[in-house]
């Protein structure tokens, strides 16, 4: 098994710091945590070129345990070259061919509303994490997990206390470890007793 692979948008949207302030540093942190290789992509090269590049990497790199995407996303696609149901199916099949048991994380807004589910359905044994709303590329706690035709919306089924705990988890290193968790693992973390705070030091 080879090293995990990340793809990230490397150029800022005019007037913003979305790439240099979020996508690239979070992708680099994810690669460090998961011993992965980063492939930066400049959106100025165009959707077709980005899509072809991603597909070629998946074809030539050999099987990897996990793949992550850091870019803008929508219910219908993501910035790095894939838009619509046909592209979702194309990506899902390419990921499954690279490693039929891989984990995929879309650190991309709103892809959990449709696009990520379509990728998973084309898998069909790959595990896909995604976000169901707009939010920070990795710290967004509104998570969904998909495999085949099944999707679990984690955020929707949490208590208020569990939602607060998930927000805290996604503000720390767990945000980079989704590839290591299934939904039951993450729910177990949220339902586990809170760690007691350290007692005050007595002078």
What whole-number distance in Å separates Cα of residue 128 and Cα of residue 178? 10
Instruction: Give every strand in the sheet of 77-78, ordered side by side.
Output: 73-74, 77-78, 82-83
What per-residue confidence (pLDDT) applies to 203?
A: 41
User: Is the per-residue pLDDT at 122 higher than 60?
Assistant: yes
What whole-number distance in Å separates Cα of residue 96 and Cα of residue 101? 7
Q: Is the pTM of this model over 0.85?
A: yes
Average pLDDT, integer, range 137-145:
95
Alpha-carbon separation of residue 2 from 53, 86, 118 (angstroms): 18, 28, 26
Query: Would you list the domain boundaries of the chain?
Result: 5-191
Given the structure tokens 């150029």, which residue do they identify?
Answer: 11
User: Is the per-residue pLDDT at 200 higher than 50?
Assistant: no
How many alpha carbons lie under 13 Å from residue 102 in its C-beta half-sphere? 28
Exposed/middle/buried for residue 146 (C-beta within 10 Å: 0-12, 13-18, 19+): buried
Residue 39 C-alpha from the chain's centroid: 15
Contact 100, 38 (CB under 8 A): no
Looking at CATH, the fold of the domain delimited by 5-191 is given as Rossmann fold (3.40.50)
| Nearest to 5, CA basis, from 71, 78, 54, 77 | 54
Which pLDDT tens digit goes with each residue over 47-85? 999 999 999 999 999 899 999 999 999 999 999 999 999
């Amino acid at each position: 098994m080879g090293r995990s692979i990340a793809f990230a948008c490397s150029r800022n949207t005019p007037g913003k710091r979305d790439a240099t302030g979020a996508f690239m540093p979070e992708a680099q942190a994810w690669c460090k945590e998961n011993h992965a290789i980063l492939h930066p992509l400049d959106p100025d090269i165009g959707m077709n070129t980005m899509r072809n590049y991603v597909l070629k990497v998946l074809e030539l790199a050999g099987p990897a345990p996990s793949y992550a995407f850091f870019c803008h996303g929508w219910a219908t696609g993501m910035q790095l070259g894939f838009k619509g149901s046909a592209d979702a199916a194309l990506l899902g099949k390419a990921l499954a061919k690279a490693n039929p048991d891989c984990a995929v994380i879309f650190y991309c807004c709103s892809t959990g509303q449709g696009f990520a589910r379509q990728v998973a359905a084309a898998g069909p044994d790959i595990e896909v994490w995604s976000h169901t709303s707009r939010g920070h590329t990795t710290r967004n706690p509104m998570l969904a997990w998909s495999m085949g035709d099944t999707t679990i919306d984690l955020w929707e089924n949490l208590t208020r206390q569990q939602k607060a705990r998930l927000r805290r988890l996604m503000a720390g290193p767990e945000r980079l470890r989704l590839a290591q968790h299934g939904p039951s693992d993450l729910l177990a973390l949220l339902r586990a007793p809170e760690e007691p705070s350290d007692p005050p030091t007595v002078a």
